[in-house]
């Protein structure tokens, strides 16, 4: 962003604590996660058997499928997850690309390369530079673009984001944002400008872990963030993406329970919206960050299969954080959305840049290579499945 970045300070809006009644966020807070966690621990082989055989599963079945006891039935879970995904989604994977608008951030989050204390090269794209990036992505085939930025109320303001969406919307059929969380009115402005989706990972659903990972900045407000997908839906967003950063909390199973409860609640409350869940595992980032509690491949696969069996209609997104081999292996188990050829630094597609990436990626294949893999595996890479009217 140019000279305007040094403009006068703006008043920061206060954000309420608590979540409104009648929201998916309220449903999550009312979920007995401790009780479900005990069900995971106490699940027996017959609980797993019942969860595998039943047709309509609930969170208790999900708990059984997440349990160590279900680890012995992983092949059967994978086979069922594959069948459910194929029935519901066909053999189609939607491809999208993140477009990083800015790595400016005033928040301190322990796991993120953009964290304010990190001395990195910072850059914010002008809207016309964002359009240049979008055109580079369109040349590579993408029609779904996810606009990503750090949190800076002045440099990455709501007006700036609306201007970026307005610049891209005439050419890009589908735009989503993964930026700081906003009020309903701002989401409505973004929708009116041409945005149809919002992504907001809660990062961790455990309040203590959340407080320990988000040391400074507005992102510290757990409840304001938890209710962001509700506000986005109320503002007219058609697609909602949620996720938990696996590796922040020592117990991936309790994160999975909360994430599934959140997805289930969003589907119930906002049934007109398409809900997508991401299962990102933490990656090394600037500042020397390493995941404190790495989640293994087998655990990730069990989580994906259990999620698919609980929520047949939910989209599942897998990013380039994961290796090419693991991504390829997980496609048949329930993945429906993949990024490809990603750059996590602003300006990385259309030109060389020295701006710092948010995290290291693992799958470095080009979009064409990912699409070729999908076709060879019998899947249709869907570059476009939505057109704004």
* Angle between the N-to-C axes of helices 33-42 and 252-269, in degrees from 0 to 180, rounded to the nearest 10: 130
Q: What are phi and psi of 145, to 5 degrees?
A: -125, 135
CB of 358 to ligand SF4, least distance (A): 7
CB of 216 to ligand SF4, least distance (A): 9
Nearest to 77 by CA among 322, 281, 334: 334
Q: Is 204 exposed, middle or buried (0-12, 13-18, 19+ CB in 10 A)?
A: buried
Q: Of the two residues 124 and 302, which places its CB atom closer to ligand SF4 in the complex? A: 124
Q: Should residue 150 be labelled a site residue for ligand SF4 when binding is judged by CB under 6 A?
A: yes
CB of 360 to ligand SF4, least distance (A): 14
Distance CA 271, CA 44 (A): 34
Binding span for ligand SF4 by CB under 6 A among 12-20, 104-112, 317-325, 333-341: 104-112
Q: What are phi and psi of 244, to 5 degrees?
A: -130, 140
Distance CA 260, CA 384 (A): 27
Q: Should residue 105 be labelled a site residue for ligand SF4 when binding is judged by CB under 6 A?
A: yes
CB of 70 to ligand SF4, least distance (A): 32
Place of tokens 């891209």: 168
Binding span for ligand SF4 by CB under 6 A among 83-91, 101-109, 305-313, 347-355: 101-109
CB of 151 to ligand SF4, least distance (A): 4
Q: Should residue 112 be labelled a site residue for ligand SF4 when binding is judged by CB under 6 A?
A: yes
Q: Should residue 244 be labelled a site residue for ligand SF4 when binding is judged by CB under 6 A?
A: no
CB of 72 to ligand SF4, least distance (A): 37
Q: Of the two residues 61 and 203, which places its CB atom closer to ligand SF4 in the complex? A: 203
CB of 246 to ligand SF4, least distance (A): 15
**Total residues contacting ligand SF4 (rule CB under 6 A)?**
9
128: number of Cβ within 10 Å: 10
According to CB under 6 A, which residues from 337 to 356 bind ligand SF4? none
Q: Should residue 114 be labelled a site residue for ligand SF4 when binding is judged by CB under 6 A?
A: yes
Q: Of the two residues 39 and 105, which places its CB atom closer to ligand SF4 in the complex? A: 105
CB of 109 to ligand SF4, least distance (A): 3
Q: Of the two residues 201 and 383, which places its CB atom closer to ligand SF4 in the complex? A: 201
Q: Contacting ligand SF4 (CB under 6 A), which of 115, 124, 319, 342? A: 115
Distance CA 44, CA 254 (A): 18
Q: Of the two residues 105 and 172, which places its CB atom closer to ligand SF4 in the complex? A: 105
Alpha-carbon distances of 142 from 115, 145, 171, 253, rounded to whole Å: 29, 7, 11, 34
Q: Should residue 109 be labelled a site residue for ligand SF4 when binding is judged by CB under 6 A?
A: yes
Q: Should residue 107 be labelled a site residue for ligand SF4 when binding is judged by CB under 6 A?
A: yes
Residues in the chain: 389
CB of 178 to ligand SF4, least distance (A): 9
Distance CA 321, CA 338 (A): 11
**Pairing verdict, β 108-109 and 214-216:** antiparallel
Binding span for ligand SF4 by CB under 6 A among 108-116, 231-239, 259-267, 338-346: 108-116
Binding span for ligand SF4 by CB under 6 A among 24-32, 59-67, 103-111, 164-172: 103-111
CB of 340 to ligand SF4, least distance (A): 22
Q: Should residue 151 be labelled a site residue for ligand SF4 when binding is judged by CB under 6 A?
A: yes
Q: Contacting ligand SF4 (CB under 6 A), which of 57, 73, 219, 337? A: 219
Q: Of the two residues 235 and 287, which places its CB atom closer to ligand SF4 in the complex? A: 287
- Residues within the interface to ligand SF4 (CB under 6 A): 105, 107, 109, 112, 114-115, 150-151, 219
């Amino acid at each position: 962003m140019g000279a305007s970045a040094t403009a006068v300070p703006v008043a920061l809006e206060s954000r309420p604590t608590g979540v409104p009644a009648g929201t998916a966020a309220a449903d999550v807070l009312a979920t007995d996660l401790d009780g479900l966690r005990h069900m995971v621990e106490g699940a027996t082989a017959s609980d797993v058997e019942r969860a595998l055989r039943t047709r309509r599963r609930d969170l208790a079945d999900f708990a059984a499928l997440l349990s160590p006891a279900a680890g012995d039935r992983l092949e059967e879970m994978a086979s069922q997850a594959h069948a459910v995904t194929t029935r519901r989604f066909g053999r189609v994977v939607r491809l999208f690309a993140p477009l990083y608008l800015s790595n400016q951030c005033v928040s301190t989050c322990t796991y993120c390369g953009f964290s304010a204390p990190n001395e990195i090269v910072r850059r914010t794209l002008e809207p016309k530079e964002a359009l240049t990036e979008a055109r580079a992505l369109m040349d590579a085939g993408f029609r779904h673009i996810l606009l990503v930025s750090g949190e800076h109320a002045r440099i990455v303001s709501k007006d700036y984001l609306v201007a970026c969406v307005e610049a891209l919307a005439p050419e890009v059929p589908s735009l989503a944002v993964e930026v700081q969380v906003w009020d309903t009115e701002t989401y409505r402005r973004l929708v009116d400008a041409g945005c149809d989706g919002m992504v907001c990972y809660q990062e961790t659903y455990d309040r203590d872990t959340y407080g320990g990972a988000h040391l400074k900045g507005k992102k510290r407000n757990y409840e304001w963030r938890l209710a962001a997908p509700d506000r986005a839906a109320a503002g007219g967003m058609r697609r909602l993406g949620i996720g938990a950063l696996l590796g922040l909390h020592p117990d991936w199973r309790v994160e999975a329970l909360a994430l599934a409860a959140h997805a289930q609640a969003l589907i119930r409350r906002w049934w007109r919206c398409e809900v997508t869940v991401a299962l990102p595992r933490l990656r090394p980032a600037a500042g020397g960050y390493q995941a404190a509690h790495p989640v293994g491949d087998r655990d990730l696969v069990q989580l994906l299969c259990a999620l698919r069996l609980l929520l047949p209609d939910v989209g599942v997104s897998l990013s380039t954080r994961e290796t090419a081999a693991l991504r390829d292996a997980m496609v048949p188990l329930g993945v429906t959305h993949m990024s490809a050829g990603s750059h996590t630094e602003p300006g990385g597609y259309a030109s060389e840049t020295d701006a710092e990436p948010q995290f290291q990626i693992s799958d470095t294949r080009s979009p064409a290579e990912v699409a070729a893999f999908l076709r060879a595996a019998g899947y249709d890479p869907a570059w476009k499945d939505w057109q704004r009217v």
